[in-house]
Amino acid sequence: MHNIADLLHGFQVALTGYHLALMVAGVLFGILVGVLPGLGAPNGVTLLIPLTFSMDPVSAIILLASMYWGALFGGSTTSILFNIPGEPSSVATTFDGHPMAKQGRATEALSYAFLSAAFGALFGVVVITLLAVPAAKFAHKFSSPEYFAVYFLAFACFVGLGGASPFKTLVSAGMGFSLAAVGMDTISGSLRLTYGLPDLVKGVSFLVAVIGLFGIGELIATMEERLEFRGVHARVSPRDVLKTIAALPAYWVALIRSSLVGCWMGITPGGPTAASFMSYGLARRFSPRSDRFGKGEPEGVIAPEAADHSAGTSAMLPMLALGIPGSATAAVMMGGLMIWGLHPGPMLFVEQKSFVWGLIASMYVANVVAVLLVLFTVPLFAAILRIPFAIIAPLIVMVCFVGAWTVSSSPFDLWLVLAFGVIGYLFKKCDYPIAPLVLAMVIGDKAEDAFRQSMIMHAGSLGAFWSNWLCGSLMTLAILLLLWPLIASLFRRRVATTPAEMPVRE
Amino acid sequence: MLVSRRGLAIITALLALGFGAAIVLGALEYDVGWDERGPEPGYFPFWMGLVVIAGAAGALIEAIFARDQTAQAAITLDQARRIGLFLLPMLGFLVLTVALKLGLYVGMIAYLFTVMLWQGNYRLPATAAVSFGTAAFFFVMFEHWLKVALMKGPLEAWLGMH
């Protein structure tokens, strides 16, 4: 078992005083970002990346990852107390969490949420620990055609399994790839899609796009409704937490099922949001108390929370081993890795052992740190939301613009933030998925290089992608997934005569 | 009601269609075909532009033939007014900061002043405290602590703060 020795080495890296301090700072900043509307996990990571340029990559990734865990916890807090999901992935938590809080069971709901979230997260980390080496070994067999096939499969998953309209998913992914192509072409050196604008020569940074799409876009959507935070007061007492810990094992089926759903959706690029909805739907369908869902049923809090966090953590596995991020936040982190000069993918496990295992070990530690911190700081962060929105919102706007400036000190980027903000708002209003766009912007260059190198290797023949069983089966699976909405609609039409029970839709 | 759900879906699909067309046109500056070594530089953006166009056309047809939700309002007049009030000061901030090159600090203070006085109905002392306090916080955090220079304009030069 090489894993154990590697993991122990990782703990040596993660358990230094400096890294523990980074975890605490990251988690606290993450909770803040998760609590505030308009600043979510992808955006928080994005804002921190320019500040990590001078840091050691291990320290930088520990800070970013801890921020992510904190943001996931912060998002659940506002869902339960204010009925306002701080993160898209905690929408499903509002269904039962807020009713519980209104019945005076806020502490119970928060404890259930945090503890099952921690269970899901640790489940995800264990899965990563076990699968990391085999996955990297498997990916060692990859060359350009296989990489392109995996990238293609990732996007086919969005189309086939994403839940949004396949057309809208295509628009989102295509826009991302096009934006990634702007600027200097890595192979021929030609300046593409610049339309004569010198500002476009350096390309469009995915960091700027994320700040606009998730930050300003989210704020416009929030502004649209007259937002009032009418929250439920909460103070978490140790006795209530202990009582919840005692009650939690009774929900073991829901916990394990939700964690498995989360891992699956995290490793395939379904992402935490889809995972939490799917897990909530499954719990409602199979629970013996399904009639109480939506009225304050603890299982309705446990299921989405465990899935959300296990998806969040396990999304790191494909990012590290294959260089394919499983969620928008993981995509931004992968962009960070590339900025720090690392190459995500199987070689990372050989060349950067301390980095990979330090990160994995830090995920165990940081999630425990996060649960403890969030339990004790809930009243503090809930108080932040009592500051009037008329002050909070403009301050968030300023944080977004300053963050965009720090990416590459370009005034043009500030205009881009506003443009992406409007795009993000329209996408949200019309149910276009944003994650494919972000993913495409991050891996666009790599995907195009993989495609062109495969073509060079195989004399320009598309047969390159069916030249061996591995690549061929990946490509065939991807094409099946791409056509899945079409196949499914034909199938549905045929069985429409019998009153079929429709699955729970997101 | 300013625009219905169907209307907004159609507008968004048309905008996406325009985006796709712009990408295709931009890609046509280079060869979009294949040479003996594989695709030329324009190939990938050209086809991605076509993917956007195809997706947008599909979304457009979906929006036109959608049976439900067509009459519902996507954005009411009241909501549009609130969005406008949110975006207008932001636009002003960008004009001051970027177009007039006054820098982030001046833009920031002007923006926070406007928003808090005009939209938040705060008194002058509170407004001044928040806007100057924020600028000072950013200055200390970025210029001193993180050693990242934020965009500065003529005012900072005049004060000798470069």
On whether the CB atoms of residues A374 and A70 are closer than 8 A, the answer is: yes
Best of B6, B12, B142 to disrupt the A interface (most A CBs within 10 Å) is B12
Q: Which residue in A218, A223, A216 sits closest to A418, CA to CA?
A: A216
Query: What is each CA distance from A317 to A22, A27, A139, A257, B152, in whole angstroms?
Result: 22, 21, 12, 19, 42
Report phi then psi at B103, rounded to 5. Answer: 95, 165
Q: Which of residues 295-334 of A touch B (CB under 8 A)?
A: none
On whether the CB atoms of residues A186 and A449 are closer than 8 A, the answer is: yes
The number of beta carbons lying within 10 Å of the beta carbon of residue A69 is: 32
DSSP A387: S
For A477-490, write each residue's pLDDT tens digit: 889 988 888 888 78
The shares of helix, strand and coil residues in chain A, as percent rounded to the nearest 5, are 80, 0, 20
Query: What is each CA distance from A130 to A136, A247, A358, A388, in whole angstroms?
Result: 11, 29, 15, 47
d(Cα A204, Cα A182) in Å, to the nearest integer?
Answer: 7
Pick from A331-340, A479-488, B62-71: least confident: B62-71
pLDDT score at B71: 67
For A148-160, write each residue's pLDDT tens digit: 888 888 888 888 7
For B73-122, write each residue's pLDDT tens digit: 888 888 999 899 999 999 999 999 999 999 999 999 999 999 999 888 88
Q: Which residue in B62, B54, B47, B65 sits closest to B17, CA to CA?
A: B54
Q: Two tokens at A339?
A: 């900025």
d(Cα B80, Cα B101) in Å, to the nearest integer?
Answer: 30
- Average pLDDT value for residue range B63-73: 75
The number of beta carbons lying within 10 Å of the beta carbon of residue A475 is: 22
pLDDT score at A494: 61
Tell me whether A393 touches chain B (CB under 8 Å): yes
pLDDT score at A493: 66
pLDDT score at A318: 87
For A234-262, write each residue's pLDDT tens digit: 666 778 788 888 888 889 999 999 999 99
Q: Is the per-residue pLDDT at A501 higher than 60?
A: no
Q: Two tokens at A502?
A: 């429709």
Report phi then psi at B56, rounded to 5. Answer: -65, -40
Label residue A27 by pLDDT band (50, 70, 90): very high
- Average pLDDT value for residue range A208-223: 88
Compute the count of residue pairs across chains A and B with CB atoms less than 8 Å apart: 175
Q: Which of residues 426-485 of A touch B (CB under 8 A)?
A: 426-427, 429-430, 432, 448, 451-452, 455-456, 459-460
pLDDT score at A497: 44
Subunit contact A178:B58, Cβ cutoff 8 A: no
A97-136: burial string, b at 16+ Cβ within 10 Å, e else: bbbbbeeebbbbbbbbbbbbbbbbbbbbbbbbbebbbebb
Of B36, B62, B130, the CB nearest to A167: B62
3-state secondary structure of B74: strand
For A366-405, write each residue's pLDDT tens digit: 999 999 999 888 878 877 777 887 888 899 899 999 999 9
A279-300: burial string, b at 16+ Cβ within 10 Å, e else: bbbbbbeebeeeebbeebbbbb
Q: Which residue in A118, A110, A126, A42 sits closest to A78, CA to CA?
A: A110
Q: Is the per-residue pLDDT at A190 higher than 70?
A: yes
Sequential DSSP letters for A100-114: HIIIIIHHHHHHHHH
Q: Two tokens at A496?
A: 């429409």
Q: Is A410 left (phi over 0), alpha (psi -120 to 50) or beta?
A: beta
Q: Two tokens at A62?
A: 């520990």
Query: In chain B, pLDDT over 90 holds for what percent of residues?
Result: 54
Best of B23, B35, B114 to disrupt the A interface (most A CBs within 10 Å) is B23
For A277-316, write each residue's pLDDT tens digit: 889 988 888 888 888 888 889 999 999 999 999 998 998 8
Query: Minimal Cα–Cα distance from A254 to chain B, Å?
Result: 35
- Relative to beta strand B34-35, strand B38-39 is antiparallel
Instruction: Say which residue, A190 or A209, is predicted with more confidence.
Output: A209
The interface predicted TM-score of the complex, written ipTM, equals 0.94
pLDDT score at A503: 38
d(Cα A140, Cα A345) in Å, to the nearest integer?
Answer: 9
Subunit contact A220:B87, Cβ cutoff 8 A: yes
Q: Is the per-residue pLDDT at A495 higher than 60?
A: no
Residue of A nearest to B60 (CA): A167
d(Cα A350, Cα B112) in Å, to the nearest integer?
Answer: 50
